[in-house]
Structure 1
């Protein structure tokens, strides 16, 4: 089981750092899955227990100049590690002007991701800063716990408004209520609502557009057969939504959400080579 990678391009390094910073804001611990072509950061708090889930996917070729990995076995050419993303985020903070960053899986006293940052120097020799980040190796028998969540059979799918606008609305609402209702329809309308004994506040968004989801077998999903004006809604924990909006540094080119009425809200943020999915279960 081996893994080593190197980033030389500064733009790629800064982009990778922003993704890691986002993960660190969303998850205290997560699973890093390494394959030949991709990296995945996975948080699978059981939705049934009221926890959020996250699935972040990166194409390694768009970030790394070198990338070598050998999985646990030839037929299972993957590695699953448990780590604290904040530790990786801190290590990359020292790399903002680096000449190169090398990441390697080591096992001296315990399994670690070694992040070696080569910094520019005034002399001919370069300075190296090394961070050892403890990781746990997840055994093969547990891998099935970390499979990609399936896209739920949603009632409504809608593009999100500008995330900065949505963030400022949610931050103001957070002071008034612990929960927020997200409702949307297939006419590109979305409302954010809070209702308490003392106050009722609704923010309306129009003309957002609805993504064209075509099913592979040509069958109708529940979204395709519903009334265009009919609202699907879910009440969710406002802090979990605010955490996503405040934490994301991916700056997506496309952001959308799928609502399964009264069950779950599924957010998808896309930026060229990164996709981030975030699932927030509905409150009872």
Structure 2
């Protein structure tokens, strides 16, 4: 696999490295996926990042275990991968191979520019674990939750500044939004109650018919707030990790169950699921 010079790809890998210490890299003929299959219903974080291989590699060859299961699943440490990719950003050419050395590795070989006519090749071996096929079912694309409201997020930097301040006051934060493009971030304790209001954010088109059965989103008044109480550290972690300036950032809320955050930039998408707490 011959890597194209893609700052967006490196930035997304760096973002993922801030969200999780370990995740699964799933390779298919058309796409690369970074997956964290936390059981959201049991309080775990979930993540799904999808990249088109055509936008990452100039040349791409992969062969799965069989024609029916033509994919490869690897457990990786995103921070190690991010660090290796950052060091080869200025390379003339980069090749990525799955190799077997002291352990399975993603070997990244980069041809770096030099002042002389001779080229200098730098190699990084990023250790990985092969995920057995019996576990692959855990790393399929998560279904879109049947959310009650969907809203565009305010500028992520602004949101991060608000959450950073609120973290000093409480361990939990209430996110609420409605169908007229309003969002509130609230903390309520015995000592203090603080709310930051955002308005005129807009609602993504799918918010008009969010419920497949014509249920919750249509029976609610547009001004009525849908909310979820989340661990403020998990939201802060998501906001701190942003190395990308997404073209669209959205938030879906399943009332008192889950906050589903989506970042879109060109052909890359990142979904992040934060479970609600009682």
Normalized against structure 1, the TM-score is what? 0.94
Matches within 5 A, 1:54-133: 54-133=47-126
Find runs of 4+ consecutive structure 1 residues off by over 2 angstroms: 214-219
Would you say 1:238 and 2:232 are equivalent positions? yes
Structure 2 vs 1, CA of residues 49 and 216 (structure 1 numbering), >3 Å: closer, same or farther?
Answer: closer
Would you say 1:7 and 2:3 are equivalent positions? yes
Q: Aligned partners of 1:17 and 1:218: how far apart in 2?
A: 36
CA contact (8 A) 1:215 1:221 kept: no
1:126-159 residue CA offsets vs partner (Å, 9 max, x unmatched):
1111111111111111110111111111111111
CA contact (8 A) 2:47 2:270 kept: yes
1:225-261 residue CA offsets vs partner (Å, 9 max, x unmatched):
3210111000001111011111022211011111011
Q: Tell me the matched-pair count.
A: 277
Structure 2 vs 1, CA of residues 24 and 217 (structure 1 numbering), >3 Å: closer, same or farther?
Answer: closer
Deviation of 1:193 after TM superposition, in Å, equals 0.3
Q: Aligned partners of 1:48 and 1:240: how far apart in 2?
A: 15
1:157-204 residue CA offsets vs partner (Å, 9 max, x unmatched):
111111111111111111111110000110111100011121111000
Would you say 1:143 and 2:139 are equivalent positions? no
Matches within 5 A, 1:256-275: 256-275=250-269
Aligned with 2:220 (options 222, 226, 231): 226
CA contact (8 A) 1:22 1:248 kept: yes
Q: Aligned partners of 2:215 and 2:42: how far apart in 1?
A: 27
Q: Which residue of 2 aligns with 1:177?
A: 170
Deviation of 1:216 after TM superposition, in Å, equals 10
Q: Aligned partners of 1:148 and 1:92: how far apart in 2?
A: 25
Q: Aligned partners of 2:224 and 2:210: how far apart in 1?
A: 25
Structure 1: runs of 5 or more not aligned:
none
Deviation of 1:76 after TM superposition, in Å, equals 0.7
Alignment root-mean-square deviation, CA: 1.5
Normalized against structure 2, the TM-score is what? 0.96
Deviation of 1:63 after TM superposition, in Å, equals 1.8
Would you say 1:29 and 2:22 are equivalent positions? yes
